[in-house]
Structure 1
Amino acid sequence: PERLRVLRAESCPNAAGSCLNFFSLHSSSAPCFAKFAEMEEMVKMEAEINEIKLKTEMMQLENETADITHNFYLGKKCEILQDMNRHLEAILKEKRDLRKRLIKHRCQESLPIEATYHKSIVELLTEAVTFIEKLESHLQSVRNIPQIPHMMNNMVSSKRIEPAVFSKLEQLTEQILKWEELQKEVYSNNLWIYYLIFIITLPLTRSCLVKNVVPHLS
Structure 2
Amino acid sequence: MHQWDLSPFSVTPAAALLSRCVSGGVVSQRFQMLQMFCGHLQDLLKDQNSLRQRLMRPLGRTNLPVQAHLHRSVVEVVKMLLDFIETLEEKLDSVQSCTTTRDRISQLNTSLAQLLSQVAEVQSLSNQVLQWREVGSKESDVTSSAD
With the length of structure 1 as denominator, give the TM-score of the two structures: 0.30
The structure showing larger relative contact order (alpha-carbon pairs under 8 Å, at least 6 residues apart) is 1
Larger Cα-atom Rg: 1
